[in-house]
């Protein structure tokens, strides 16, 4: 049974989510089954479904890639290698949907990740499309990273990407990525 204080905390939390225009959030351990469940839940969110098919496809494509990045590239939970701790937050403000994710990564992967994202951030949309085509034609699939298209797809389908990496200890850092998608068809 909930205590009065718990109810007020829940009401405050719900008010915060509404004020911040949070459509959906999840924090926990990610695996493929959870990704499928999150995609199913997000596909039923009114704030995301009111968009055109083009915009809706962009949003869900970015959600898929972000969640796959957590599962494929996140640092393993020490006790279970298929479980990856992470967070996803989807919000909408005006004509922009924000997809924010966070997960642990190994420190020896930080420099390469920064290099890839900074390179993508420096490209215009035509250059990103060309890189995507080139990568699809020349890349070979690997067990961990596919063809390397995840970040390229996120950059291609979003209006803007941003990231932050904070070192936690000598082995791991926390990586956060935010992609914004305009809900205006262009």
Residue 120 domain boundaries? 23-182
- The burial class, CB within 10 Å (0-12 / 13-18 / 19+), for 119 is middle
Closest Cα partner for 62 from 156, 162, 176? 156
User: What pLDDT was estimated at residue 17?
Assistant: 60
Q: Is residue 105 part of a domain?
A: yes
Query: Mean pLDDT by 10-residue block, N- to C-terminus, for the chain (186 residues)?
Result: 54 65 80 80 69 84 90 69 78 90 92 94 93 81 60 94 92 92 80
Q: Is residue 8 part of a domain?
A: no
CATH of the domain at 99: 3.30.565.10
Query: How many domains, in total, are found in the chain?
Result: 1
Closest Cα partner for 184 from 63, 90, 60, 97? 97
Q: Is residue 79 part of a domain?
A: yes
Q: Is residue 45 part of a domain?
A: yes
User: What pLDDT was estimated at residue 86?
Assistant: 87
Closest Cα partner for 22 from 48, 59, 55, 43? 48
Q: Is residue 2 part of a domain?
A: no
């Amino acid at each position: 049974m909930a205590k009065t204080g718990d109810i007020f905390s829940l009401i405050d939390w719900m008010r915060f989510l509404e004020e911040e225009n949070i459509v959906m959030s999840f924090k926990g351990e990610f695996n493929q089954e959870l990704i499928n469940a999150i995609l199913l839940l997000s596909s039923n969110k009114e704030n995301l479904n009111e968009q055109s098919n083009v915009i809706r496809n962009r949003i869900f494509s970015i959600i898929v890639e972000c969640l796959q990045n957590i599962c494929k590239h996140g640092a393993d939970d020490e006790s279970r290698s298929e479980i990856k701790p992470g967070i996803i937050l989807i919000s909408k403000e005006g004509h922009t949907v924000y997809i924010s994710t966070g997960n642990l990564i190994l420190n020896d992967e930080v420099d390469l990740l920064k290099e890839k994202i900074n390179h993508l951030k420096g490209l215009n949309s035509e250059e990103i499309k060309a890189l995507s085509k080139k990568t699809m034609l020349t890349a070979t699939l690997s067990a961990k990273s596919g063809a390397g298209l995840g970040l390229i797809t996120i950059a291609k389908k979003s209006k803007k990407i941003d990231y932050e990496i904070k070192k936690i200890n000598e082995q791991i850092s926390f990586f956060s990525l935010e992609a914004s998608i305009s809900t205006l068809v262009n």
